[in-house]
Structure 1
Amino acid sequence: MLVSGEEYFLPYDQFPWFKKGAVEAVLNVVEEQPNCFYWPDLDIDLGLDSIRHPEKYPLKAGV
């Protein structure tokens, strides 16, 4: 992902929601607000800080 000239890698182990998405769906991303990104085909929204520092946002499952 390229944001303001900086490239970011979103590995599946830290961003598992993208793993089963079609390439077209993963590439369909919009910046809804500054540094807030939304993948409408996957219903995923992420802030740039969570992309830069995924360790600060551990994956949790709720019941």
Structure 2
Amino acid sequence: MSLSALGNNTSAVEVTNISAHGVWLLAHDREFFMPYDDFPWFKEKPVSAIVNVEEQSPGHFYWPELDVDLTQNIIEHPGRFPNVACNP
């Protein structure tokens, strides 16, 4: 009997931790921290909604239950992208 892979791993992105300070996102072997001060959309939301993340294209992440759409650039440099239209 031989074992073979059934397909490609489609889970290139996942939330690895939710703390009192923010959310940890793992994407393509890189971990990113999103503090609530910079990413208020995740604070006080259900865990099930936070962990439901999709990578729509490389480096482009979407949380459908929260209607949050972020790029890797925004996550890495939140100060460059102020939350002017934010209404958490």
- Percentage identity across paired residues of the two chains: 48
Of residues 53, 63, 79, the one that matches 1:39 is 63
Q: Which residue of 1 aligns with 2:31?
A: 7
Q: Which residue of 2 aligns with 1:55?
A: 79
Matched pairs, number: 62
* TM-score normalised by structure 1 residue count: 0.91
Instruction: Show structure 1 runs of 4+ deviating over 4 A.
Output: none
- Greater share of helix: 1
Structure 1, unaligned runs of 5 or more: none
* TM-score normalised by structure 2 residue count: 0.66
Structure 2, unaligned runs of 5 or more: 1-24
Which fold has the larger relative contact order, with Cα–Cα distance below 8 Å and residues 6 or more apart in sequence? 1
Instruction: Output the aligned Cα RMSD.
Output: 1.2
| CA-CA distance at 1:61 after TM superposition | 3.5
Structure ID, larger Rg: 2
| CA-CA distance at 1:59 after TM superposition | 1.4
AA aligned to 1:12 is Y
- Greater share of strand: 2
